[in-house]
Amino acid sequence: MNALAKDLNTLISSNRVRTDPEDLFAYSNDATFYFKKSMPDAVVLPESSEEVAHILKYAFHREIPVTPRGAGSGLSGGCTPVHGGIVIDMKRMRRVLELDRSNMTSEVEAGVVLSNFHRTVEKMGLFYPPDPQSMSVCTIGGNVATRAGGPRGVKYGTTERYVLGLEAVLSDGSIIKCGSKSVKNSAGYDITHLMTGSEGTLGVITKATLRLLSLPAARKTMVVICETTDQAAAIISEIIARGMVPAVLEFLQRGAVGLMNYYISPPLVADAEAYLLLQVDGTAAQVEAESAGIKDFCLQMKVRDVRIIEDEREAGSYWEARSALHPLIMRVFKRIITEDVSVPRNLLPEMVGSLTELSAALGINIGFSGHAGDGNVHPSILFAEVSPEMEEKAKAAVDLIIKKAIDLGGTISGEHGIGIHKSEYLPWQLGDVQIDLMKRIKNSFDPKNIMNPGKIWPEGDELRQ
């Protein structure tokens, strides 16, 4: 046992400190496997905020890097420990501490798995909308740290909209509580939403106070089968412009539907160029009116077909298939680089058109799907084989995809965060003045730069003053 492990064993129970090479390897990356493996020196699994504080106080005095981690399901390299040090795995902190039905709020620990939380609140007739595709494994702390989104973002927004308050441990071991259970809060700087999306660079989120809604009384799934991708993109933009806002509005290509048919029962005929997968929700009357209105509009746009799925089991198979799409694609291709850009919704047709042109110009396979109802698309660069030539083309494609999103007034990340994957592109969107401001904020929270170093902006710039 090394000296670091011995010290950590004095801070928390020894069976919650990991230093075996097999364990460390498991924590060397998130769901992105194309970055260089970066092994931590130790992994700890705290069970309380106080234990997190003890670990951070120890690391602060010895200037040991610390990387907070939820489920490791991220797609930006955000919890990859690029400088070794200590990984703090939060999954043992998984209690729902309070469910206040009358105030429609809940307090949870950071390690609560999102799908478990959904089931818990829905049993009480309540609703927590954020629904990242990894919700069966991802944690609420990780969602908050990355401002995670999901398909329901088109109507309900992303995670930050539901965060009322946080408990967090700062780099020196100080525990802070920001925000409150009140819907309105105008007391000082908004530390709560500064921590939200900070990707573990300002501190470790240990608890979150979340806003809940009433569970919609009815839902209905629809499939729109489009002749072309341009037609699908135009329909998405016009549906929103006309005020017909579904809870979910997903864009899918033919190849994606072919893979999803492993789950869909009965399967879709996968011979159209593009498909839209929608869910409308609300009162029973609202659902009937909105689904009928969307169907009428789509038929006016000369789509091939519109299906309203009446059978709940069949409808469930569509959403199960959509959640499984990324791992299904990973079974087919050697490597996938999944992008995450957002553009104004009315410019979605132009963004989709540019992806088609880019794929043809570079001679590479770019599949794209996304939560297109809010302008968030996920172009995926698909590697049939990994080679230096393909790596070079993929890098060129990523550069052009991001440049196009920025040129259209969009953003380089809609929901995955920056991490390692997008760090070189952040100055393209924000410029040097804002990057410098962020670094000064980081220095105020973390003067020794131990909190998830090497993330959000490019390496090489000194953070300490």
* Count of CB atoms situated within 10 Å of the CB of 447: 14
**74 assigned to some structural domain:** no
- CB atoms closer than 10 angstroms to residue 291: 22
In a domain, 154, yes or no: yes
Segment 389-399 shows an average pLDDT of: 95
From 369, 418, 334, 332, select the one nearest 34 (Cα to Cα).
334
Q: Is the pLDDT of residue 463 over 50?
A: no
β-partners of residue 168 are 176, 205
**Average pLDDT over every residue of 294-298:** 96
What is the arithmetic mean of pLDDT over 368-387?
A: 90
* pLDDT of residue 382 exceeding 50: yes
**Does 55 fall in a domain?**
no
Same domain, 261 and 192: no
**DSSP character at residue 215:** P
Q: Are residues 122 and 166 in the same domain?
A: yes
Is the pLDDT confidence value at 19 over 50?
yes
Q: Please report which helix (H) or strand (E) contains residue 289, including its range.
A: helix 284-300
pLDDT for 416 beyond 90: yes
Task: Identify the CATH number of the domain in which residue 401 sits.
Answer: 3.30.70.2740
Tell me the longest C-alpha to C-alpha distance in the chain: 71
Distances (CA, A) of 440 to 332, 433, 462: 44, 11, 11
Domain shared by 105 and 209, yes or no: yes
- Per the listing, tokens 């010290």 go with 7
User: Mean per-residue pLDDT for 353-357?
Assistant: 93
Tell me the pLDDT tens digit for each residue of 50-72. Answer: 999 999 999 999 999 999 999 99
Q: Domain check: are 229 and 250 in the same one?
A: yes
Give the chain's mean pLDDT: 94
Confidence of residue 440 (pLDDT cuts 50, 70, 90): very high
Tens of pLDDT, residue by residue over 182-221, are 999 999 999 999 999 999 999 999 999 999 999 999 999 9
In a domain, 414, yes or no: no
- Is 313 in the same domain as 344? no
Q: Are residues 189 and 235 in the same domain?
A: no
- Packing angle, helices 229-241 and 284-300, rounded to 10: 130
Which one, of 132, 116, 15, 104, lies nearest residue 414 by Cα?
132
Bridge partners of residue 306, in order along the sequence: 224
Q: Which residues of 156-168 are buried (b: 16+ CB within 10 A; e: fewer)?
A: bebbbebbbbbbb
CA-based torsion, 259, 262, 268, 270: positive or negative:
positive
Closest CA to 33 of 332, 377, 330, 384: 330
349 and 316 within one domain:
no
The domain that holds 189 is classified in CATH as 3.30.465.10
Task: Domain count for the chain, please give it.
Answer: 3
The CATH number of the domain where 257 resides is what? 3.30.70.2190
Query: To the nearest whole percent, how much of the chain has pLDDT over 90?
Result: 88
Q: Which two tokens stand for residue 111?
A: 């390690």
Strands, E assignment, 339-385: 341-342, 365-371, 376-383
Residue 235 forms part of a structural domain? yes
In the prediction, which pLDDT does 1 show? 56
| Boundary-marking domain end, from 214, 234, 267 | 214
pLDDT of amino acid 371: 87
Confidence band for 36, pLDDT divided at 50, 70 and 90: confident
And the tokens for 404?
């196009």
Mean pLDDT to the nearest integer, 225-234: 93
The per-residue pLDDT for range 84-122, each reduced to its tens digit, is: 999 999 999 999 999 999 999 999 999 999 999 999 999
Rounded CA separation 212/98 (Å): 12
* Residue 459 pLDDT grade (very low, low, confident, very high; cuts 50, 70, 90): confident
Whether residue 462 is contained in a domain is answered as no
Residue 244 burial (CB < 10 Å; 0-12/13-18/19+)? middle
Residue 30 lies in a domain: no
Same domain assignment for residues 233 and 182: no
- Do 210 and 102 fall within a single domain? yes
Co-location of 387 and 298 in the same domain = no
Report the alpha-carbon angle 400-405-410, nearest 5. 160
- Burial (CB < 10 A; 0-12, 13-18, 19+), residue 318, is buried
Residues 6+ apart with CB under 8 A from 156: 129, 130, 213, 247
Domain match, 225 and 290 both? yes
Contact (Cβ atoms closer than 8 angstroms) between residue 371 and residue 149: yes
Question: If we measure between CA atoms, which residue out of 438, 442, 421, 395 comes closest to residue 78?
Answer: 421
465 confidence band (pLDDT: 50, 70, 90): very low
Residue 334 has which token pair?
A: 């050697």
Q: Is residue 29 part of a domain?
A: no
| Last residue of one domain, picked from the residues 299, 325, 351 | 325
Q: Is the confidence at residue 462, as pLDDT, over 50?
A: no
pTM across the whole model: 0.94
Highest mean pLDDT of the ranges 44-58, 245-259, 265-279:
44-58
End-to-end CA distance of the chain: 36
Please say which residue of 295, 325, 355 terminates a domain.
325
Range(s) of the domain holding residue 247:
218-325
Same-domain check for residues 157 and 182: yes
**What's the whole-number mean pLDDT along residues 299-307?**
96
DSSP 111-140: T-BHHHHHHHHHTTTEE-----TTTTT-BH
